[in-house]
């Protein structure tokens, strides 16, 4: 780790405070579940302080996650803020349009960034032009030379365009994906923070599962929006089991007659459609029509099922 | 009375989880409850209708309560505190107001939010100072946040939460304040958060809270409890009542209006704060319905969000 000992008016201690999965709740209590929900490894905390206390402190939190997908997931919980270039190399793999392109975001003294298996938060307790400059410099130092992997596969395959269904497209016109609403998750708690589905886990989510949710918004006035929840499980059996559990918990009045493979239902908040293909489960909610919901669900589940098994 | 049934998004649209929670959790909702199922699993048309309630909540703000560096202006805070407690109690002096809430023979526990966007230390000390001035012996004023032995040793509690959204429970304010007393705080971070009012009814806690004094000087309207300055703003207010549910309902309204102002459109809390309506309708701890709450506003009116 290349964090400088001295950064402008601030300096850091020799060694960081190390936070593990066992101590994260002592460090941040209810916020700890967020990180644990993403396969948290450990956290290194450096607090930069200045002789002149009126300058405040700069807190550097380095969240070392088990995979790049997990670090990405943390950034994806909130795409708000000013994009910040960290001098990273062009991403490996195909560029995707389903999330905003930036890997670092800044606002009001807080910088958040994704860099391989590292998620970092750098927070200046007093925001000034000088502290902002130092926050940016620390972020660049922490991420310098690190890999720039692609977004999680289940996120990359989200239907993102607006082709006509008649031409075999996957996103019904006139809906467009909202990249700033795309969130990668493994935990139902994180899903609920992006889109409240239920007070309990109806989808058998957890550390071995990859999920993504986003919103499609219509460009036509008054036509509303659709929500997709797309999950990739370790096996087809797990996907089917999750579909059955979801139907029993969310659509109990239809669960006994419904097929876990695919189906639709008109609910209070719009049309719901579901589809399982291989180890994938796609849910489309809030849709204005059955056609739009089933088209998107079926196509999305197929796309996830095509992800090679080696990708995780 | 503990709620175990799964609550889904459909319950919100049906209008079966309480008016306040619906408003906080959905951008557009139809409130038809015919055929709906309540949070306790009963059909809406069979669920007990509760008796009407009422509550008063005082909101006192001052434009100079915080300086440009978000530091507290102590003299202004002292005046705000006096104004707040006099308005809540209807007494003519600060001393009389506090003595209408606690006695010199009480052991008074001050219960602030202690961690991550905590209650301002200055507010805790300001309350301690006025209690001493009112004649409560200093040794009888203790900090009572933490383990259950702390409220057990007290005869009166002053709840002093900070106003903040919470990524697990929707809102992490009055109803979440006593979570440590449960001995198992993490158990409320999942679906059990709907039962947060439980913690106010623990034998060593129940009935002891004389005042809920909400620190709304610099609230957090998203991503709590971890501080995120993008979602903090200088509201410069104190909010108080003897009804903790009403305080949370008013705090929630402020948070929702601020979120709407940030995005330029309704920005529902997710997850929605199930605990607020449940505290009212299932635990009987107070009222969550804004039409039952009289909000008395005083001081700085700009961007009051109410």
> The domain containing residue B96 runs over which residues?
51-299
Q: What is the pTM of this model?
A: 0.90
> What is the CB neighbour count within 10 angstroms for residue B147?
11
Read off the pLDDT band of A147 (50, 70, 90).
confident
Environment class of B304 (CB within 10 Å of its CB; exposed 0-12, middle 13-18, buried 19+)? middle
A127 at B interface, C-beta within 8 A: yes
Q: Shortest Cα distance from A309 to chain B (angstroms)? A: 31
C-alpha to C-alpha distance for B117 and B5, rounded to whole angstroms: 32
- Asked whether residue B14 is assigned to any structural domain, the reply reads no
Using an 8 Å Cβ cutoff, are A228 and A216 in contact?
yes
A107 neighbourhood in chain B, CB within 8 Å: 229-230
Q: How would you write the pLDDT of chain B (306 residues) with one tens digit per residue?
A: 665 678 899 988 887 666 556 566 654 322 222 223 333 333 333 344 688 899 999 999 999 999 998 999 999 999 999 999 999 999 999 999 999 999 999 999 999 999 888 999 999 999 999 999 999 999 999 999 999 999 999 999 999 999 999 998 899 999 999 999 999 888 887 778 889 999 999 999 999 999 999 999 999 999 888 889 999 999 999 999 999 999 999 999 999 999 999 999 899 898 889 899 999 999 999 999 999 999 999 999 999 999
Residue pair B276/B175 in contact (Cβ under 8 Å)? The answer is yes
Tokens standing for B292?
């039952």
pLDDT of residue B153: 97
Give the confidence band of A309 by pLDDT, cuts at 50, 70, 90.
confident
> What length is written for chain B?
306
Mutate: best of A23, A26, A30, partner B, most B CBs <10 A? A30
Q: What's the pLDDT band for A87 if we cut at 50, 70, 90? A: confident
CA distance A196 to chain B (A): 5
- Collapsing DSSP states into helix, strand and coil, what is residue A55? helix
For residue B185, the chain A residues in CB contact (below 8 A) are 29-30
The upper half-sphere exposure of residue A176, i.e. CA atoms within 13 Å in the direction of its Cβ, equals 7
Interface test with B, best of A29, A38, A52 (most B CBs within 10 A): A29
B251 in any annotated domain: yes
- Least Cα distance to A186 among A168, A171, A201 occurs for A201
CA distances from B111 to A25, B148, B157, B168 (A): 20, 12, 7, 21
Beta carbons of B190 and A110 less than 8 Å apart: no
Q: Which of A51, A53, A58 is nearest to A133 (CA)?
A: A58
Residue B278 with chain A: CB contacts under 8 Å: none
Q: What is the pLDDT of residues A206-247, one digit of tens each?
A: 999 999 999 998 877 666 789 999 999 999 999 999 999 999
DSSP A92-132: SS---SSS-S-SEEEETTEEEEEETTEEEEEEESS--HHHH
pLDDT, position A96: 53
**pLDDT reported for residue A218:** 84
Any chain B CB within 8 A of the CB of A310? no
* Whether B13 and A269 lie within 8 Å, measured CB to CB: yes
pLDDT, mean over chain A:
90
Asked if the C-beta of A209 comes within 8 angstroms of chain B's C-beta atoms, the answer is: no
Mutate to test the interface with A, among B13, B44, B226 (most CBs of A within 10 A): B226
From chain B, the residues in CB contact with A106 under 8 A are: none
Find the chain B residues whose C-beta atoms sit closer than 8 A to any C-beta of A. 6-10, 12-14, 25, 30, 69, 115-116, 166-169, 172, 185-186, 189-191, 194, 222-230, 232, 270-272, 274
In this structure, is residue B192 part of a structural domain?
Answer: yes
**The pLDDT value given to residue A188:** 95
Instruction: Please check whether residue A67 is in contact with residue A94, taking contact to mean a CB–CB distance below 8 angstroms.
Output: no
* CA separation for the pair B238, B220 (Å, rounded): 14
Beta carbons within 10 angstroms of residue A15's beta carbon: 8
Chain B, nearest residue to A127 by Cα: B69
Inter-residue contact A228 to A213 (CB < 8 Å) = yes
Q: How many Å lie between the alpha carbon of A92 and the closest alpha carbon of chain B?
A: 31
The shortest CB-CB distance from A199 to any of B191, B227, B229 is to: B191
Q: Which of B8, B190, B232 sits opposite A197 (nearest CB)?
A: B8
ipTM higher than the 0.90 cut: no
Q: In this structure, how many other beta carbons lie within 10 angstroms of the beta carbon of residue A89?
A: 9
A166 pLDDT higher than 80: no
Measured between CB atoms, does A297 come within 8 Å of chain B? Answer: no
The whole-number pLDDT of residue A271 equals 96
Residue B13 counted as domain residue? no
* Domain assignment present for B218: yes
Residue positions counted in chain A = 312
The beta-carbon neighbor of A198 closest among B9, B186, B225 is B9
Domains of chain A: residue spans and CATH? 6-143 (no CATH), 153-305 (3.40.1000)
Q: Where are the alpha helices (DSSP H) in chain B?
A: 9-14, 19-25, 74-89, 94-99, 121-133, 149-152, 244-263, 274-281
CB contact under 8 A, A250 and B168: no
Residues of chain A positioned with their CB less than 8 A from the CB of B227: 123
* Greater model confidence, A161 or A88: A88
Share above pLDDT 70 across residues of chain A, in percent, rounded to a whole number: 91
Sign of CA dihedral B95, B100, B105, B111: negative
Give the residue from chain B lying closest to A272, CA to CA: B10
What's the whole-number mean pLDDT along residues A275-300? Answer: 94
The DSSP code sequence of A170-237 is SS-TTEEEEEEEEEEESSHHHHHHHS--BSS-SS--STT-EEEEEEEEESSTT--EEEEEEEE-SSHH
User: Is A142 an interface residue toward B (CB < 8 Å)?
Assistant: no
CA distance A283 to chain B (A): 14
Maximum distance among all Cα pairs of chain A, rounded to whole angstroms: 70
| Residue B25 with chain A: CB contacts under 8 Å | 196
- Closest chain A C-alpha to B303 CA, distance in angstroms: 20
B76 Rama sector, left if φ>0, alpha if ψ -120 to 50, beta otherwise: alpha
Q: B249 to each of B111, B175, B243, how far by Cα in Å?
A: 20, 10, 10
A193 touches chain B (CB under 8 A): yes
Q: What is the pLDDT of residue B48?
A: 46
Nearest to A34 among B167, B232, B270 (CB): B167
Distance in angstroms (rounded) separating the CA atoms of residues A103 and B229: 19
A194 touches chain B (CB under 8 A): yes
Q: How many domains does chain B have?
A: 1
Distance of CA A61 to the CA centre of its chain: 19
Whether residue A197 and residue B9 make contact (CB cut-off 8 A), yes or no, is yes
For the domain that residue B70 is a member of, what is the CATH number? Answer: 3.40.50
């Amino acid at each position: 780790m290349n964090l400088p000992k001295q950064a402008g008016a601030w300096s850091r201690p020799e060694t960081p405070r190390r936070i593990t999965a066992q101590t994260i709740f002592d460090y941040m209590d209810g916020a700890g579940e967020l990180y644990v929900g993403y396969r948290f490894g450990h956290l290194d905390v450096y607090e930069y302080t200045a002789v002149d206390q009126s300058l405040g402190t700069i807190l550097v939190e380095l969240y070392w996650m088990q995979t790049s997908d997990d670090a990405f997931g943390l950034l994806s919980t909130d795409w708000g803020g000013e994009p910040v270039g960290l001098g990273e190399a062009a991403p490996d793999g195909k560029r995707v349009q389903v999330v905003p392109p930036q890997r670092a975001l800044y606002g009001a003294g807080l910088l958040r960034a994704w860099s391989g298996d590292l998620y970092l938060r750098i927070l200046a307790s007093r925001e000034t032009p000088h502290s902002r400059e130092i926050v940016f410099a620390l972020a660049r130092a922490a991420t310098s030379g690190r890999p720039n992997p692609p977004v999680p596969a289940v996120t990359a395959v989200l239907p993102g365009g607006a082709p006509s269904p008649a031409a075999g497209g996957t996103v019904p016109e006139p809906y467009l994906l909202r990249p700033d609403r795309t969130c990668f998750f493994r935990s139902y708690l994180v899903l609920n923070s992006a889109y409240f589905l239920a007070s309990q886990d109806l989808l058998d989510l957890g550390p071995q599962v990859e999920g993504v949710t986003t919103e499609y918004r219509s460009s036509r006035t008054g036509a509303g929006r659709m929500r997709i929840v797309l999950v990739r499980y370790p096996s087809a059996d797990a996907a089917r089991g999750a579909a059955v559990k979801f139907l029993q918990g969310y659509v109990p009045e239809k669960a006994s007659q419904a097929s876990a493979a695919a189906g639709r239902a008109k609910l209070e908040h719009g049309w719901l459609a579901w589809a399982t293909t291989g180890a994938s489960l796609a849910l489309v909610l809030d849709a204005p029509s059955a056609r739009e919901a089933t088209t998107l669900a079926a196509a999305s589940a197929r796309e996830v099922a095509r992800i090679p098994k080696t990708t995780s | 009375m503990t709620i175990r049934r799964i609550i889904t998004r459909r319950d919100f649209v049906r209008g079966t989880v309480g008016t306040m929670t619906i408003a906080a959790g959905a951008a557009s909702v139809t409130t038809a409850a015919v055929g709906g199922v309540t949070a306790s699993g009963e059909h809406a048309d069979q669920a007990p209708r509760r008796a009407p309630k009422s509550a008063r909540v005082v909101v006192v703000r001052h434009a100079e309560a915080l300086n440009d560096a978000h530091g507290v202006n102590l003299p202004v805070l002292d005046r705000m505190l006096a104004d707040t407690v006099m308005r809540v109690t209807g007494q003519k002096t600060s001393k009389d107001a506090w003595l209408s809430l606690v006695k010199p023979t009480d052991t008074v526990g001050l219960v602030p939010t202690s961690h991550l966007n905590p209650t301002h230390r200055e507010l805790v000390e300001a309350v301690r100072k006025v209690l001493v001035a009112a004649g409560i012996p200093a040794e009888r004023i203790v900090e009572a946040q933490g383990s259950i032995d702390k409220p057990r040793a007290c005869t009166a509690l002053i709840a002093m939460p900070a106003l903040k959204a919470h990524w697990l429970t929707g809102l992490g304010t009055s109803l979440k304040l006593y979570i440590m007393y449960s001995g198992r705080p993490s158990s409320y971070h999942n679906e059990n958060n709907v039962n947060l009012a439980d913690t106010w009814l623990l034998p060593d806690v129940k009935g002891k809270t004389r005042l809920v004094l909400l620190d709304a000087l610099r609230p957090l309207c998203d991503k709590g409890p971890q501080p995120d300055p993008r979602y903090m703003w200088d509201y410069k207010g104190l909010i108080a009542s003897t009804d903790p549910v009403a305080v949370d309902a008013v705090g929630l309204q402020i948070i929702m209006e601020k979120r709407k102002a940030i995005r330029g459109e309704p920005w529902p809390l997710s997850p929605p704060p199930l605990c607020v309506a449940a505290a009212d309708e299932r635990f009987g701890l107070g009222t969550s319905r804004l039409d039952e709450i009289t909000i008395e506003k005083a001081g700085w009116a700009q961007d009051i969000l109410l």
